[in-house]
Amino acid sequence: MFKFVGKFKIWFSISLVVIIIGMFMLFTKGLNFGIDFKGGTIVQIAMNQEFNKPDVDEIIKKYTKEFQTNKAFSEGKIELEIKSNSLDNNGIDKVFKDIKAKYKKAELKSQEVMGASVGNELKKKAFTSSILAIIAMLIYIGFRFEFRFGLAAVIALLHDILVTISVYAIFQVPVNSPFIAAILTILGYSINDTIVVFDRIRENQRKLRGKKVSEIADKSINETMTRSINTVITTLITIVSVNIFVPSVREFSQPLIIGIACGCYSSIFIASPLWVIFKNRSKRARA
């Protein structure tokens, strides 16, 4: 039986190094916020025919380097959505003219300017919803299990969010509104993985009375690790496939890949050792 809890300093150190580097980059360079947060122009073009997205991207690159495109379907028609914070009306006209020359059926459907205030409001709502979700999880787990379980689970959730944000800050990956949806999804997935381990710990507490808390945790982790790894691998295979073959959802799938992998790591190497630490401190305080 592998002793996970006894090596908790190694696991904690790995996470701390990533988070410290990420937070340094966050405070020095900040996140690379996209148009959803910084504001800019959104152009919708009804293509009315199949088109090659990389070819369209090459056309747009002639007029701006800061943009993102999405292929969508509306009322059975194929549409192209262009977001950019550096395209003016003259640039949009040139882009559409070049696209029209290549795709004769293309029609300019709409163009609108989105202010940065919309992005600021989105950030506030994302922060509020994340805090409310974490508080609700803490209350539920504290009621369903015990407060120490809830506290360890919440710290593990914060770990997953911080690692994901750190990766984005270090590599300056663009952050748009799908990132927020991904973070909330990560919260739900990660807590599910952690609860599986905690439920086994609770069962083993009754079966292994008299054993050390660390031994109970190690046994529980070893018993559930295969299930956790198999679950995360099958999930990641699906998400990685979507990320590769469906480029339009990469802004959502990329943070999911990072967060789900972190969720598996934290449920094994962070949450359970934290519970052992809290449990031992409680025993010493009572003694």
Domain segments of the chain: what residues?
Answer: 40-114, 118-286
User: In terms of pLDDT, which residue wins out, 282 or 274?
Assistant: 274
What are the backbone angles phi and psi of residue 274, rounded to the nearest 5°?
-65, -40
Give me the pLDDT at residue 287, please.
Answer: 66
Tens of pLDDT along 14-42? Answer: 999 999 999 999 999 988 887 777 778 88
What is the C-alpha to C-alpha distance for residues 111 and 245, in angstroms, rounded to an integer? 28
Cross-strand pairs, 113: 41
Instruction: Identify the CATH homologous superfamily for domain 118-286.
Output: Multidrug efflux transporter AcrB transmembrane domain (1.20.1640.10)
Structure tokens at 157: 């959730």
Tens of pLDDT along 228-262? Answer: 899 999 999 999 999 998 877 888 999 999 999 99
User: In terms of pLDDT, which residue wins out, 12 or 131?
Assistant: 12
pTM metric for this prediction: 0.83
Q: What is the DSSP letter of 76?
A: T
What is the C-alpha to C-alpha distance for residues 43 and 221, in angstroms, rounded to an integer? 51
What are the backbone angles phi and psi of residue 20, rounded to the nearest 5°?
-65, -45
Rg (CA), the chain: 23
40-114 classified as CATH 3.30.70.2190: no
Please determine, for residue 266, whether its predicted confidence score (pLDDT) is greater than 90.
yes
Same topology between domain 40-114 and domain 118-286: no
What is the C-alpha to C-alpha distance for residues 8 and 277, in angstroms, rounded to an integer? 10
Give me the pLDDT at residue 170, please.
Answer: 95
Compute the half-sphere exposure of residue 218: CA atoms within 13 Å on the CB side of its CA: 13
What is the C-alpha to C-alpha distance for residues 222 and 260, in angstroms, rounded to an integer? 20
